[in-house]
Amino acid sequence: MAVFHRMTSYSRLFAATLMTCTVLVIIYSTLTLEVAETHCDSPDISVKPVTDHPSFRVRAATADVTQNQVQISHVRTLAIQVSPGFRSAIPQNSAFWNRKLHSGLQKLDSAGNLTQPDNNGNKMPESTESLRTNIVDFDAYPSLYKDFLRSMDFRSPDFLINQPNKCTSRGKPDQVTLLLGIKSVAQNFEQRQAVRETWGKEAVYEDSLLVRRVFLLGRSGLDDPDLTGLLSFEAQVFGDLLVWDFVDSFFNLTLKEHVFIKWSLQHCPQASFIFKGDDDVFVNTKAILKYLKSLEPAKMSKLYVGQIISQASPHRDPRIKYYVPPTFYDGPYLPYAGGGGFVFSGALLESLFSISWCIPFHPIDDVYSGMLFHALGISPEVHLGFQTFDIKEQDRGNPCVHRNLLVVHRRSPQQAIRLWRSMESPLLTC
């Protein structure tokens, strides 16, 4: 993911956009005095004013246990059976995450219910003393890892910006075919705008296939420029930003995954399929929809497809972005779809959310996603159209090659726009 770059161009672009839109709003406000009864529904956007950015917001517990269900912030979790294959695939050893997982699995009864439901998502940060007791070399961990460990049980950040009616029209649920959940960060306005103008367009394809789009963001860190006002304006203009009150860092991508699943359950549960990926991928939306239409009904409800990474193991070099200390996690990774972009069935949202309370957060988000699907007994499906590690260099600008692909990573905003324009051109012959 491209992070924290082109700050100057971003600010200038938004300043120009702000001035232009201010003028348009004044003109529009004048005109709408006479036509107020004929306007279309505008996006229902909830923007929370921000004055303070604590690392954690700990609120009173809201869990309400009922038979075979746990109510967590108005989203129910189901009684879920963890697959035997997942249980046996994760070694029981002294590593902190492994111990935490198997301890949690012991809290499930034979029916899959939580026998000790404490998963309200608002736990206090883990103390350094406790972590030192449980991880012998905790003091040698990188600082970002320490931050992740302190907060890995915190799952319910407040909303800063929400789009509660993204998947409704005039108060009624839309029959969304494909919901695009796109990971982004505050500074990546150019990437978001390129997505809006190309593969992320909200439209009805083939007369009935509805596509909706949201960008998934946390907030900036203490050492980063405060772009809250710009994000609020962007959300009001485009109606597609979801911003939560946690620091947008690499190790918080798993938390972003979790809250996106929860948001989808609350506000877009009727979505047939979900795409989750980065803001610097290029997606052939029409090809994805064509692929989804070709699926047999039995396959639709358990779909988890992308470029599959098999036989992977944790990186043990602290200099590598994906470093995982041996005392934190010990064992192989289960096969998983690359996080640059993958698709899964919307019918799995409730099960994914439910099973996630049994599985501790892992700092590598796509690895964690793979664990959730495996715990449900669902294996990832390979599709050669997903190329999240890119294609041959000589083919990267060829629109004919991209017509046969579903997802490629990565493309700059300019490359994405050129590709999309070429692929949409009636003059293109392949």
Query: If pLDDT is split at 50, 70 and 90, which confidence band does 21 have?
Result: very low
- Pairing between β-strand 204-205 and β-strand 281-283 as defined by DSSP bridges: unpaired
- Render pLDDT for 302-321 as a digit per residue (tens, 0 to 9): 999 999 999 999 999 999 99
pLDDT above 90 (res 273): yes
- 387, 287 Cβ separation under 8 angstroms: no
Chain-centre distance of CA 381, in angstroms? 19
pLDDT of residue 122: 66
Residues 6+ apart with CB under 8 A from 24: none
Contacts for 124-131: CB closer than 8 Å, 24+ residues apart? 124/56, 124/58, 125/55, 125/56, 125/150, 125/151, 125/154, 126/150, 126/151, 126/152, 126/153
- 144, 251 Cβ separation under 8 angstroms: yes
β-sheet bridge partners, residue 168: 173
Our CA angle for 391, 344, 339, nearest 5°, is 45
Read off the pTM: 0.84
Q: Compute the radius of gyration of the chain from its Cα atoms.
A: 22
Cα-Cα-Cα-Cα dihedral sign, residues 28, 30, 35, 41: positive
pLDDT above 90 (res 178): yes
Token pair in block for residue 358? 């049994």
Q: What is the average pLDDT value for the chain, to the nearest integer? A: 84
